[in-house]
Amino acid sequence: MKIKISWPTGIVLALVAFMIFILSFVYKVMFLPEYDHHLVSEEYYKDELNYQQEINKENKGVALKDNIKITKDSLGLTIIFPKEFDPSKITGLISFLRLSNDKIDFNIPIELASNQILISKDKLVAGRWDVKIDWSVNGADYLYKEKLIY
C-alpha cells in the first residue's frame, strides 16, 4: 500500500521537523550541564572601568629592561621575574584562567625567595590557559598577560 502525501502536507511536515531539530539544540544548550555557558567575568562592567589602568600597567611592564618570562619544563611552569628587582619586595597575584571551564581557575599569591616561582604540573590541566600576573614592586604596579597551551 502506497502512502500519498500531497505537497502542502509535505511542506508542513518539513517545517515541523525543522522546528523540532532547532528546539532540540535550544534544549541542549539551555538545560544540559555539559553545555554550560558562563561569562568570563561576573563583574564585566566594573572590569571595563579599570581597563585603562590595566593597559597602563602592561605598558610599564613592556618598558622594563627584562619583562616576566614563562617557561614550560618537566616539573610544570616556571615564571621568571626581572632580575633588576629584589625578589623579597615583589608582591602580587598570579591568576590562571581556563575559559572552557571556570571551575579549575586558580590564583597564587606572589611570595618570592628567588626571582622565579614554579607552578607544579599537578595544578595544571592540559589545554589553553590565560595567565595574568598582577604584581608590584617599590610602589610601581605592573601587569603581564599571556595565553599559553600547557
State the DSSP string of 94-120: EEEE-TT-GGG-EEEE---SSSEEEEE
Domain 44-149 classification at class level: mainly beta
The torsion of the CA quartet 50, 66, 119, 75, rounded to 10 degrees, works out to: 150
Q: Which amino acid is at 125?
A: V
Residue 19: the pLDDT is 98
Nearest to 114 by CA among 145, 146, 90, 140: 90
Domain boundary assignment for the chain: 1-37, 44-149
Distance between CA atoms of residues 84 and 43, nearest Å: 35
Largest distance between two CA atoms of the chain: 89
Distance between CA atoms of residues 18 and 15, nearest Å: 5
8 Å CB contact between 117 and 123: no
User: In sequence order, what are the beta bridge partners of 17?
Assistant: none
Q: Could you list the pLDDT tens digit for every one of the 150 residues in the chain?
A: 688 889 999 999 999 999 999 999 999 888 887 766 666 667 777 777 888 888 999 999 899 888 999 999 889 999 999 999 999 999 999 999 988 777 889 999 999 889 999 999 888 888 899 999 999 998 999 999 999 988
